[in-house]
Structure 1
Amino acid sequence: MSSSSRFLARFFSSSSTSTQTLTLTPPPQFNLSTITDLANLRQWPKLRSHLHSLLSNPQTLPLSVPSFFHSLSSSFLPRSSQSIVADILILSLLSASDTAAAVDAFFRSGHYRYKLSTFSLNPLLSSLIKTHHLNLAQSVFNQMLTSRKIAPNSITFNTMINGLCKSGKLTKAEDMIKDMKAWGVSPNVVTYNTLIDGYCKRGKMYRADGLVKEMVGFGILPNSVTFNVLIDGYCKDGNLKGGLKFFEEMKRQGVEPSVNLGEKRKMDEANGLLNEMLEKGLVPNNVTYDIIKDGMVEKGFVPDIDGHLSNSAS
């Protein structure tokens, strides 16, 4: 063999090897047989993990929700198992941050009369509200309760109340309490905290106070979140006495505070509160002083609060 022939042989041999090395594997795709096999064995955690890994992989071929449901409805799985698969699919789509496809799956599942659950629908409502799609969340919620007859729980209602409060629809949010009771769901401390926070953020402290009395009347005790929201609301409203009143009540009930009245964004209010108390001859206790002092020091001031405390005690 001539030298040129040997060169060409080596060239094509190396080219062939390179071609084999660069052979691309097909991208992962949804295999319904794998899904139905796992569902048939009722291996729900494995099915959820399988769908999540597929949807989270950017190389996976895009899922066609209509095709998926058409194939699922034609499978050998009983309707109850198909419903669970649809439930898990919606949750997996949300985990992959594909809220649009999850909404599509919700509405299409109704065409196949799949019975979904709050397992997937509560996260769907939450995702819609976080992405500022309250109207769409209300459509999903209304269909849940009417044509789909999916029993809501406290998380369902609290999620919707949160969305309504964030959108300033406080009356509608408060009306949800009546709907909760009609469904046999009891409002809880989260329900009232959400409503109270909504009113506080809009400076409607009189209504926030009314809700506190209402929740206590129903035997629901305020927690640290309740007090912190009220203290924050009163400070922002310029009613520092009101904030201090709830702070003292918080301590009286043995609830640990997590709101710092002297944090940076409340420094002016905290300093004003201290001056006002001292001018009126009021003697705040050590805890109140410590809260204000710590915040002011963090801000860069070094107040003579200890001196004030000593003078007041003398």
Structure 2
Amino acid sequence: MTFTLFPDARLTLAREALTGLSVGDALGSRFFVPGGAVAPWPDALPPGPWPWSDDTEMACSVLGVLAAHGRMEPDALALALAAHYDPARRYGAGAVELLELIRAGTPWPVAAAAAFDGQGSYGNGAAMRVAPLGAWHADSVRRAADQARASAEVTHAHPEGIAGAVAVAAAASLAARARLDGDRPEPARLLAAVAGALDPAGEVHRGIRRATALLGRPAVEVAAAVGNGSRITAQDTVPFTLWVAATLLHDYPAAIRACVEAGGDVDTTAAIAGGVVAAYTGVGTPGGVPEGWLAAREPLPAWLTTAA
């Protein structure tokens, strides 16, 4: 189906992806256990408010830039990430060092390239913030991939860190497109389309291929095979989260539960899977982000409401 996606529709899709991302992040954070141990899903969820972490704070900057410019502007994103970051939101040490450099006036290409002794970061940070950008580009997976690359390069100079963001943005674009078309893709078809946006020689690509071969298996088994984010890398995080999203694209609560039960970097796996799934389900719909969960999530920052 060919269609025109107007700015208000783009913003709505991106906002709902951000809602899914932020609720997943906030609820997942309640189950995060240092060392990657598993915290079982309870009979009753913890009472709110559920604070969100760096995943959500950075995703808000992504959406703010899109709303202000209609596209990803790396310079604007670098300034937004540096201006809004709060180390108390559980930023990693590498991210804190990089954002402090940008705050101090270091050009972001220099700061990103210098990270990790000059190899650049292949952490999962660029992937965890990008689902709203993918949903914004529901009309073009290629455009979503190109813009995700531009957004990732601000902080992640390593090819795998960039590939993680491209994969998540492509998945969110496909999910939002499926919502508009009314055509839910089969899990294997969605994952194949995501893999097609990546360099086949990369580890993220290989991980998504391994995850595709495990469709139909229990989530815990898949996480054991391809990673659950415990190493905080794109390679260790993105394949599992996209397996969850592809498998449970119609069921947001089940997707978040699968991430929690797999353990690892739960707030980030739930943020990535939640952002992609919400791009398809929306909020307060059957299978979508539950209104009660949204009410329990800490409100998003006040600056975002004026920016987007």
Q: Which band: TM-score by shorter chain?
A: under 0.3
Structure number with the higher helix fraction is 1
Of structures 1 and 2, the one with the larger relative CO (CA 8 A, separation 6+) is 2
Rg larger in structure: 1
